[in-house]
Amino acid sequence: MALYNESGLTFDLPDGQHFRFAQLAAYKRLSGQHLKEMDFAWVAHGKLFVLEVRSYTQVSNTLAGADLVALSGESKPYRYEALIDKLTDSLMLLLAAWADTDFGKSIKAGLPVAARSSLPLKLVIALDLPADLTVHLPVLRDSLNERMRGRMALADVRSVTLIDYPRLLTNPMFREFIKTEI
């Protein structure tokens, strides 16, 4: 098992079954070209889980709902757009690998064997939010899914799962791999 600590969580991911886009040589060659990636990916239960974790505890005094979800008639907030970019670019990286494009072959070479061919995808964003802001999670989830609908359809993904840390840590699909930071 490989241990990682990030955003207040410890990840114990299965050897030979996980990867981080940021550690792939092919991804590093694209560094600085406005490409974003999600934090962790691993194969389990016949699916490829791709996870982004974000802890906003450091900015909890200044963070407001409008930082995550646009108010009516307002432009989408930076944090929202960053999530869209990470979801989109991660899908593109995987689809390029699975389609064997020229660059996709170099991405594929860095993936675990189990992730080198198309697998059902589970896209997950986990947020650590102040308690008073968790009320915004359903609106944020629905907005992300609406905005990503066409892109997800191209990869046969039904929806993005948006979850807070307490539910992530108790969810049977994740608790085997994720704990609070030790």
For residue 167, give Cα distances in angstroms to 32, 34, 42, 164, 174: 34, 32, 19, 6, 9
Domain ranges for the chain, please list them: 2-129+140-180
- Do residues 137 and 56 lie in contact, with contact meaning Cβ atoms separated by under 8 Å? no
Query: DSSP state, 182?
Result: -
- Do residues 84 and 144 lie in contact, with contact meaning Cβ atoms separated by under 8 Å? yes
Tens digit of pLDDT at every position of the chain (182 positions): 678 889 989 999 989 999 999 999 999 998 889 999 999 999 999 999 999 999 887 765 666 666 677 667 777 888 899 999 999 999 999 999 999 999 999 999 999 999 999 999 999 999 998 888 888 899 999 999 999 999 999 999 999 999 999 999 999 999 889 888 65
CB atoms within 10 A of CB 150: 8
The position carrying tokens 């609406």 is 146
Q: What is the pTM of this model?
A: 0.92
The tokens describing 17, both together, are: 């079954």
| Measured distance CA(3)–CA(13) in Å, rounded | 7
The position carrying tokens 């964003």 is 125
